[in-house]
């Protein structure tokens, strides 16, 4: 059987746990940040927040965040 390399695609969704790890904030604060992002882009409660939306809101570079998530 040939050796196959598993390719991990770049994630486009960011979760509260990711926000906690990136910012060093508590889970509650991370959830509040995600909710503020949803409100700022006109999304409803429970809608998915993308990495791009997170980066625009926080001012953190997209490459830094995507490198962190991999």
Mapping DSSP onto H, E and C, the string for 3-69 reads: CCCCCCCCCCECCHHHHHHHHCCCHHHHHHHHHHHHHHHCCCCCCCCEHHHHHHHHCCCHHHHHHHH
Residue 45 lies in a domain: yes
Residue 64 lies in a domain: yes
| Measured distance CA(41)–CA(58) in Å, rounded | 13
Residue 42, domain extent:
16-69
Residue 10 lies in a domain: no
So what's the pLDDT on residue 26? Answer: 97
Residue 63 lies in a domain: yes
Total domains, the chain: 1
Per residue in 19-69, pLDDT (tens digit) is: 999 999 999 999 999 999 999 999 999 999 999 999 999 999 999 998 888
Contact 35, 49 (CB under 8 A): no
Residue 60 lies in a domain: yes
What is the pLDDT confidence band of residue 3, given thresholds at 50, 70 and 90?
low
Residue 51 lies in a domain: yes
Residue 9 lies in a domain: no
Residue 35 lies in a domain: yes
So what's the pLDDT on residue 1? Answer: 54
């Amino acid at each position: 059987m040939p050796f196959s390399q598993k390719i991990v695609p770049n994630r486009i969704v960011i979760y509260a746990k990711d926000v906690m790890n990136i910012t060093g904030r508590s889970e509650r604060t991370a959830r509040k940040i995600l909710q503020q992002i949803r409100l700022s882009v006109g999304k409803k409660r429970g809608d998915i927040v993308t990495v791009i939306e997170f980066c625009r809101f926080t001012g953190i570079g997209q490459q830094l965040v995507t490198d962190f998530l991999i």
